[in-house]
Amino acid sequence: MLTQAPKGTRDILPEDIAQWNYVEQKFSELCKKFGYKEIRIPVFEHTELFQRGVGDTTDIVQKEMYTFKDKGDRSITLRPEGTAGVVRSYIEHGMGSLPQPVKLFYQITAYRYENVQKGRYREFHQFGVELLGAADPSADVEVISMLALYFEQLGIKNLVLNLNSIGCPKCRSAYNEKLKAYLKEHLSSMCETCRERYERNPMRILDCKEEGCKLRIKDAPALLDHICDECRDHFSKVTTRLEAIGIPYNIDKGIVRGLDYYTKTVFEFVSKNIGTQGTVCGGGRYDGLVEACGGAPTPGIGFALGVERLLLEMQSQGIELPKAETPHIYIGAIGEKAALMCERLAWQLRRNNIFCVKDIMNRSVKAQMKYADKLGAHYALILGDNEIENNKAQLKDMRTGETKDISLDTLIDRLVKHRG
Ligand code: ATP
Ligand code: MG
């Protein structure tokens, strides 16, 4: 127990961190280019926020939340996603009175009590954006296009954009009746959760992952065929605009999304490579959410992208990911005088922004060279009494094996100006 991380959590080890830094940096650069500002939200919130903001008939709220009482007897939940927290912050900080729309992005960990498998963890990472205050279809296109561009920049190919509209509360109430009429005769053979959701939120049933239920849901009437004129017009403007900028999409009438607050456009980017956990990211419009959380009626749209699944997809497509930077130079020393010189040289190089590793182990020349090699240092230089006396040392290029005699006076200048 003591030496094993809890099930569903994973360390990101130093050998993998460069890939994480790379996708994080690319994402934040892209968001900033689209005018989104970073927001950081708490890891935990009042449980009620998620019950309200994610929806208390969702799998997330009913089955997956990490909820506990704190020492003050408050019910606290580790965030299972980012949207609810961002919306809470938008309301709390009066962002409704800022120039609209308000465009935010985040990079967070999220927590869900899940069946752990490849691409499905209990602590995982999401990149997301929330665009608040814009009801126009071009807002939908903006967030979808950000994702398409992100994948393009990372060199990811063949992700399928699945698109649907789940209408507004107006069209949904008429549709719910039709759906209930269809489901009625199948209900007895469906799972307990579905039976429970039948009265409270029948559409949730369409998102059930149980095989037996999925079979019956297949032929259920689709909401897209029953949306109102306003929602239909919105949807057709979204697809026309996507076509205008050349983003291919597939209409998938089956997407409901796991969250209760979605309205109109919902979408997913799905992979064919990474197995059953193929949804790399999902998003949609949530025009009722801000109001449901206690703010003024405010339209919104956003997405969340699973970073573990993104990296799995990149690996499965054979995309080369950056590795950790290696030292430009290793400087070692034998003897006290040389150690002082080594100290000075390393200090100067570091001040000049050169990645320099110096000896701090007092090992033999052989051991130091071996270490420099293991680190992948481009150059190595070992100082001893002779080198100090003659003010000269051998700079070894570890990649070619070549050595050059160089004067210690010019070493810094050389490395800084000519890097070798
Ligand atoms: P799924 O249907 O796979 O459970 P979801 O609908 O619950 O996904 P969202 O709530 O939309 O997922 O979260 C957005 C993205 O976050 C997902 O598309 C996925 O990439 C990622 N994600 C969700 N849950 C997990 C998890 N447990 N482990 C890793 N990534 C996850
Ligand atoms: Mg899920």
Half-sphere exposure of 301 toward its Cβ, with a 13 Å CA cutoff? 23
pLDDT value of position 298: 97
- Of 291, 316, 341, which residue constitutes the final position of a domain? 316
Q: Are residues 346 and 278 in the same domain?
A: no
Q: Where are the beta strands (DSSP E) in 219-365?
A: 250-251, 263-270, 279-285, 300-306, 329-333, 356-358
Residue 122 has pLDDT above 90, yes or no: yes
CA quadruple 300, 301, 307, 309: dihedral sign: positive
Interacting residues of 336 by C-beta distance below 8 A, sequence separation 6+:
none
Q: Are residues 238 and 376 in the same domain?
A: no
Q: Are strands 379-383 and 392-397 parallel, antiparallel or unpaired?
A: antiparallel
Would you place residue 30 in the very low, low, confident or very high pLDDT band (cuts 50, 70, 90)? very high
> Which of 246 and 193 is assigned the larger pLDDT?
246
What pairs with residue 383 in β-bridges?
A: 333
Alpha-carbon distances of 190 from 115, 197, 346, rounded to whole Å: 21, 11, 69
Q: Are residues 309 and 336 in the same domain?
A: no
Residue pLDDT, tens place only, 51-67: 999 988 888 999 999 99
Compute the distance from residue 339 Cα to the ligand 1 centre, in Å.
53
Helix (H, G, I), strand (E, B) or coil at 148: helix
**How many whole angstroms separate alpha carbon 63 and alpha carbon 77?**
13
Compute the distance from residue 398 Cα to the ligand 2 centre, in Å.
49
Give the end-to-end CA distance of the chain in Å, rounded to a whole number: 49
Q: Could you tell me which of 314, 293, 313 has the C-alpha nearest to residue 46?
A: 293
Q: Are residues 257 and 282 in the same domain?
A: yes
What pairs with residue 123 in β-bridges?
A: 111
Residue 272 has pLDDT above 90, yes or no: no
Q: Report which ligand 1 atom has the smallest distance to the Cα of 304.
A: 14
Compute the distance from residue 134 Cα to the ligand 1 centre, in Å.
25
Q: In what order do the strands lie in the sheet with 279-285?
A: 37-38, 102-111, 123-132, 300-306, 279-285, 263-270, 160-165, 250-251
Residue 254 has pLDDT above 90, yes or no: no
pLDDT value of position 48: 97
Alpha-carbon distances of 264 from 79, 101, 131, 233, 290, rounded to whole Å: 25, 18, 15, 10, 15
Q: Could you tell me which of 143, 164, 302 has the C-alpha nearest to residue 232?
A: 164
Write out the residue range of the structural domain in which residue 156 sits. 14-168+227-316
CA 257 to chain centroid, in Å, comes to: 18
Q: Are residues 129 and 85 in the same domain?
A: yes
Q: Are residues 61 and 154 in the same domain?
A: yes
Residue 418 has pLDDT above 90, yes or no: no
Work out the percent of the chain whose per-residue pLDDT is above 70. Answer: 99
pLDDT value of position 258: 67
How confident is the model over 329-338, as a mean pLDDT? 95
Q: Are residues 353 and 405 in the same domain?
A: yes
Q: Which helix (H) or strand (E) element contains residue 379?
A: strand 379-383
Residue 176 has pLDDT above 70, yes or no: yes
Q: Indicate the range of 119-133, 187-201, 298-312 predicted with least confidence.
A: 187-201
Residue pLDDT, tens place only, 212-221: 888 888 888 9
Q: Are residues 275 and 386 in the same domain?
A: no
Compute the distance from residue 391 Cα to the ligand 1 centre, in Å.
61
Nearest CA to ligand 1 atom 18: 281
Q: Which of 125, 164, 277, 313 to mutate to test the pocket of ligand 1 (most atoms within 8 A of CB)?
A: 277
Tokens representing residue 221 in the block: 């009437």
State how many domains the chain has: 2
Q: Is residue 218 part of a domain?
A: no
**How many whole angstroms separate alpha carbon 373 and alpha carbon 367?**
10
Q: Are residues 51 and 21 in the same domain?
A: yes
How confident is the model over 389-416, as a mean pLDDT? 92
Q: What is the mean pLDDT of the chain?
A: 94
**How many whole angstroms separate alpha carbon 386 and alpha carbon 69?**
68
How confident is the model over 347-369, as a mean pLDDT? 95
How confident is the model over 315-329, as a mean pLDDT? 95
Q: Could you tell me which of 93, 76, 112 has the C-alpha nearest to residue 37?
A: 93
Q: Are residues 145 and 254 in the same domain?
A: yes
How confident is the model over 166-180, as a mean pLDDT? 89
CA quadruple 228, 234, 238, 241: dihedral sign: positive
Whether omega before 101 lies within 30 degrees of 0, making that bond cis, reads yes
Q: Report which ligand 1 atom has the smallest distance to the Cα of 119.
A: 29
CA 127 to chain centroid, in Å, comes to: 3
Compute the distance from residue 54 Cα to the ligand 1 centre, in Å.
13
Interacting residues of 185 by C-beta distance below 8 A, sequence separation 6+:
none
pLDDT value of position 275: 67
Q: Report which ligand 1 atom has the smallest distance to the Cα of 81.
A: 10
Q: Are residues 250 and 160 in the same domain?
A: yes
Residue 270 has pLDDT above 90, yes or no: yes
Q: Report which ligand 1 atom has the smallest distance to the Cα of 60.
A: 7
